[in-house]
Chain A
Amino acid sequence: MFPDVRRDFPLLTRTVRNGKPLVYLDSGATSQKPHAVLNAEADFYQFHNGAVARGAHLLAEEATEAFETARADVAEFIGASPDELVWAPGATQGINLIANGFAAASDGLGGAEAERFRLGEGDEIVITELEHHANLIPWQQLAARTGATLRWIGINDDGTLRYEELETVITERTRIVAFTHASNVTGVITDVDAFVRCAQAVGAITVLDACQSVPHLPVNVAELGVDFLAFSAHKMLGPTGVGALWGRKELLDALPPSLYGGSAIRVVTMETTTWLDAPQRFEPGTQPVAQAVGMAAAARYLGELGMDAVAAHERRIARILREGVTDIPGIRLLGPVDAPHGVLGLAAVAVDGVHAHDVGQVLDDRGIAVRVGHHCAQPLHRRLGLTGSTRASGHVYTSEDDARAFLDVLATVPSFFGVTV
């Protein structure tokens, strides 16, 4: 579908394990980077590097311009306005920034405008059993700090969310509803509307973990109707060390910051500090400028491919992987083959009688890179009766041959370990 895309990714031409061509199927963990991203970062350092938002020389101006243009490009990629987009080192830190803002408000910081973020006993935070640790632990710890109660939407035996629980779990006591846009294990895309409707009916703030969706699907914050959304650059062909937190402007301007330092402030005295408005109030200290420039290049690269085309490619890879694994005896797909709102181009599987590490080792020996283990989603695996699984996950550069190579080697795994199926 994207015949010329592979040549944009220099790493994909290398060989592994005694000269075998690389079949990279670990994009759910981190994606490879195109020349456009590598060049954007290098170009920034070679020609424009300077301190952002301080200093009056030409390089400082150019660096500031590059940084803020990057913000505008990434914001545009998700249909947002630049002043609603906060740089964070990744989705994990973006989600922590929201949770810590609630914690700071609950400690009494942030003045009257932070009232809506104050939590205490009797308040509830709702998540789902699908969440990976980045959208689970911050809320669990926030509950522990504030006396609020953590509740969650359960999942069925096939790994799908129990939407019928939404109306009973989300109640007048619910203050936050945090959920994933797409599971990094089952690959199932969430019915965001269903969550937003229930949350809005009780006035709860919604937080969407979009680190698996923004790289693979068209995402528009206005259409989603959530209040906050976080994602990482490194999963969307961009650099590590940078990501973005989007939030409604009036919420971002009221949420107390939880990281403190220079550039985020209006006036500092020895006794007190007043903050700038969002996004700067959340960006103290030196920011990941070259990485932000690289992230914007990744967003433009994906934008040029067209996110509808990316999503269509993703569906094709999903079908080959997910239908393919269910045809192999002794292999169990985590999650359904397809779902009402679609699935990502990934398949996480359990091989009867063979541990995920052993499965991964056989694949690796043939040059196929996959993720093994619990994929930072221990409760989900436990719920499915597993400690871990083996996950193949694609991106724009994943070919149908890559998916078939995975299936061919996966089919040999049970016999290699002497398991009869």
Chain B
Amino acid sequence: MSDLESMYQQVIMDHAREAHGRGLVTLNLEHVGESHQVNTTCGDEVRLRVGLEGDTVASVSWEGSGCSISQASVSVLSDLVTGESLEHADLTYDAFRALMSNRGIPLDEFREDLLGDATAFVGVGKYPARIKCALLGWMALRDALAKAQLDSTENGEGDD
């Protein structure tokens, strides 16, 4: 497999063509967070919304435009964290960041398991210029989750 083919693995191409979680969902949940991220080098953007039910990431939806790497990445992300605990989402985020800074080398088995389809992005780590593309959705996820939790705290205080 050439470097190019290892970067654009079939699973990435599939997600780029038919992205999951696309289309912002109106949420009737108490704890909702939203983040808008822009890749300043190319103008790609993503707006991602999460909704929490207790400690569970109940909903992930997004809209955006960008290259196949950024679009596939946010699609895979929405599959990986929807329905999972906040702790699991954080671990997955950390694992994906580690994968991106690993220069094209696969991670250990534990983190590979966490990443599932996202392990296909391993080849992106060889191209510093593209790591930002792959991370765009994940940055939005991190920010949206933080806001949703902040939202929880504020609401909690308000209830008191």
Chains A and B are bound partners: yes
Q: Is the CB of A18 within 8 A of B130?
A: no
Q: Which of A33-41, A62-70, A173-181, A353-361 contacts B (4 or more CB under 8 A)?
A: A353-361
Report if A387 contacts B (CB, 8 A). yes
Q: Is the CB of A358 within 8 A of B69?
A: yes
> Which of B4, B13, B17, B42 contacts A357 (CB under 8 A)?
B42
In the assembled complex, A374 has its CB within 8 A of some CB on chain B: yes
Q: Given A355-B66, A356-B67, A357-B130, does the pair A372, B4 have CB atoms closer than 8 Å?
A: no
Residue on A nearest B129 in the bound complex, by CB: A357
Chain B residue at smallest Cβ distance from A362: B4
A235 to B66, CA, bound (A): 29
A373 CB–B CB distance under 8 Å: yes
Instruction: Check B133 against A365 for contact (C-beta < 8 Å).
Output: no
B1-33 residues at the A interface, CB under 8 angstroms: 2-4, 7-8, 13, 17
- Min Cβ gap A418→B in Å is 6
User: In the complex, are the beta carbons of B7 and A372 less than 8 A apart?
Assistant: no
Interface SS of chain A: helix, strand, loop or mixed? mixed
Q: Which of B2, B17, B67 contacts A355, CB < 8 Å?
A: B67
Q: Is the CB of A417 within 8 A of B41?
A: no
A225-269 residues with Cβ-Cβ distance < 8 A to B are none
A378 within 8 Å of B (CB atoms): yes
Is A357's CB under 8 angstroms from B69's CB? Answer: yes
Q: Please determine whether B41 and A373 come into contact, CB atoms closer than 8 angstroms.
A: yes
Are the CB atoms of A418 and B133 closer together than 8 Å? no
Query: Contact at A417–B68, with CB atoms within 8 Å?
Result: yes
Contact A357 B43 (CB under 8 A): no
Contacts of A365 in B (CB 8 A): 2-4
Identity of the chain B residue whose Cβ is nearest the Cβ of A17 in the assembled complex = B3
Q: Count the A residues whose beta carbon is within 8 Å of the partner chain — how many?
A: 20
Max chain B C-beta neighbours (<10 A), residue from A17, A358, A365: A358
A388 on interface, CB distance cutoff 8 Å: yes
Task: Closest A residue to B68 by CB, please name it.
Answer: A358
A195-233 interface (Cβ within 8 A of B) = none
Is the pair A418, B17 in contact by a Cβ cutoff of 8 Å? yes
Residue B44 at the chain A interface, CB threshold 8 Å: yes
Which residues on A sit within 8 Å (CB–CB) of B67? 355-358
By beta carbon, the residue of chain B nearest A372 is B42
Chain B residues whose C-beta falls within 8 Å of the C-beta of A17 in the assembled complex: 3
Q: Which residue of A lies closest to B71 (CB)?
A: A355
Which residues of chain B have C-beta atoms less than 8 A from A361's C-beta? Answer: 4, 7-8, 127, 130
A20, B17: Cα distance in complex, Å: 30
Answer yes or no: B65 CB below 8 A from chain A CBs: yes
Bound-complex Cα distance A361 to B3 (A): 10
**Given that A357-B133, A372-B42, A374-B43 are contacting pairs, would A387 and B65 also be in contact in the complex, using a CB cutoff of 8 Å?**
yes
Contact with A along B58-70 (1 / 0, CB 8 A): 0000000111110
Contact call B42/A388, Cβ cutoff below 8 A: yes
Q: Is the CB of A387 within 8 A of B13?
A: no
B42 is contacted by which of A354, A356, A416, A418 (Cβ under 8 Å)? A356
In the complex, what's the smallest C-beta–C-beta distance from B47 to chain A, in angstroms? 15
- Determine if B7 and A387 form an interchain contact, defined as CB atoms under 8 angstroms apart: no
Across the interface, A387 reaches (CB within 8 A) one of B2, B44, B127, B130, namely: B44
Give min CB distance, A381 to chain B, whole Å: 8
A-chain residues with CB within 8 Å of residue B127 when the two chains form the complex: 361
A388 cross-chain contacts in B, Cβ below 8 A: 42-43
Q: Please name all residues of chain B whose beta carbon is closer than 8 Å to the beta carbon of A357 when the two chains form the complex.
A: 42, 44, 66-67, 69, 130, 133
Give complex CA distance A18, B1 in Å: 13
* A418 and B13 in contact, given A372-B42, A388-B42, A388-B43 (Cβ under 8 angstroms): yes
Residues of A near B4 (CB, < 8 A) are 361-362, 365
The chain B residue with its CB closest to the CB of A365 is B4
Write the A290-327 contact mask toward B (1 if CB under 8 angstroms, else 0). Answer: 00000000000000000000000000000000000000
| Interface residues, chain B, with chain A CB atoms under 8 Å away | 2-4, 7-8, 13, 17, 41-44, 65-69, 127, 130, 133
19 A-B pairs with CB atoms under 8 Å apart are A355-B66, A355-B67, A356-B42, A356-B67, A357-B44, A357-B130, A357-B133, A358-B68, A358-B69, A361-B127, A365-B2, A365-B3, A372-B42, A373-B42, A387-B43, A387-B44, A387-B65, A417-B8, A417-B68
Given contacts A365-B2, A417-B8, 17 further A-B contacts (CB under 8 A): A355-B44, A355-B68, A356-B42, A357-B42, A357-B44, A357-B66, A357-B69, A358-B67, A358-B68, A358-B69, A361-B7, A361-B130, A365-B3, A372-B42, A387-B42, A387-B65, A418-B17
Measured CB to CB, the residues of A under 8 A from B are 17-18, 354-358, 361-362, 365, 372-374, 378, 381, 387-388, 416-418
* Ranked 9 nearest A-B pairs via Cβ: A355-B67, A357-B67, A365-B4, A373-B42, A387-B43, A358-B67, A358-B68, A374-B43, A388-B42
